[in-house]
Amino acid sequence: MPVCKRYAPDHDLAYDALQDTFINVFKYIKNYKGTGNFEGWLKRIAVNCSLTYHKKKYKFSEIEESMALPTIDPGVYSKLGVQEINRLLDQLPKGCAIVFSMYVIEGYSHKEIGESLGITESSSRSQLKRARERILKMLNHQAQSESAQIRWATGL
């Protein structure tokens, strides 16, 4: 369900996508050769089913270019917990959140993302860059806020 919730636009559609995921798993289990990771195969089906529901509800469109922000240190993500990552993703525009999740969390290539969403590889890269920049901005804002709270509490 967490995978479906990441990509479907709301809880009810995520639930429908989860149900379709299991239907497809039982329908295509004979095609699973056992050579790869079963969990990865199952996750890919869940992502595809969820994206189908997302496409039905919203037309995926590119977001306008925004001001460039500093580059992000990839190690930043490794320090975040699952709940914090999900909270940050919820604050991103849906297109950025989907591309970020597919690339960073699920391990899709930009080519696969483009094919799944009906966008170009460069659009996928652009959405990922935008998502990373916005996450960095949110993390910097959070760090500044926490620093200000500590200074206030200690009287510095």
Of 59, 81, 109, which residue sits at a domain end?
A: 59
Q: Inform me whether the pLDDT recorded for 111 exceeds 60.
A: yes
Sign, Cα dihedral of 134, 135, 141, 144: negative
Which one is predicted more confidently, 84 or 91? 91
Give the span between the Cα atoms of 149 and 96, in whole angstroms. 30
Quick one: 12 and 34 in the same domain?
yes
Average pLDDT over residues 58-66: 46
Give me the domain span that covers residue 14: 1-59
Quick one: 5 and 79 in the same domain?
no
Q: Average pLDDT of the chain?
A: 78
The CATH number covering residue 14 comes to 1.10.1740.10
Tokens standing for residue 56: 């039905």
pLDDT at 70: 43
How do residues 27-57 score in pLDDT, each as one tens digit? Answer: 989 888 888 888 888 988 998 888 887 777 7
Give the span between the Cα atoms of 25 and 44, in whole angstroms. 10
Tokens standing for residue 141: 């804002």
Name the least confident of 11-25, 46-60, 136-150. 136-150
Tokens standing for residue 116: 């799944």
Quick one: 51 and 128 in the same domain?
no
How do residues 71-89 score in pLDDT, each as one tens digit? Answer: 445 555 556 677 787 888 8
pLDDT at 54: 76
Of 28, 59, 90, which residue sits at a domain end?
A: 59
Helix, strand, coil percentages for the chain (3-state, nearest 5): 75, 0, 25
Residue pointed to by tokens 């959070």: 142
Find the angle CA(39)-CA(129)-CA(98) to the nearest 5 degrees. 40
pTM of the model: 0.59
Quick one: 52 and 97 in the same domain?
no
Domain count, the chain: 2
pLDDT at 64: 36
Quick one: 107 and 75 in the same domain?
yes
Average pLDDT over residues 110-117: 90
DSSP state of 103: I
DSSP state of 74: T
Give the burial string for 73-89 (b: 16+ CB within 10 Å, else e).
eeeebeeeeeeebbebb
Quick one: 42 and 89 in the same domain?
no
Please state, for a pLDDT cut of 70, what percent of the chain lies above it.
Answer: 76
Quick one: 55 and 76 in the same domain?
no
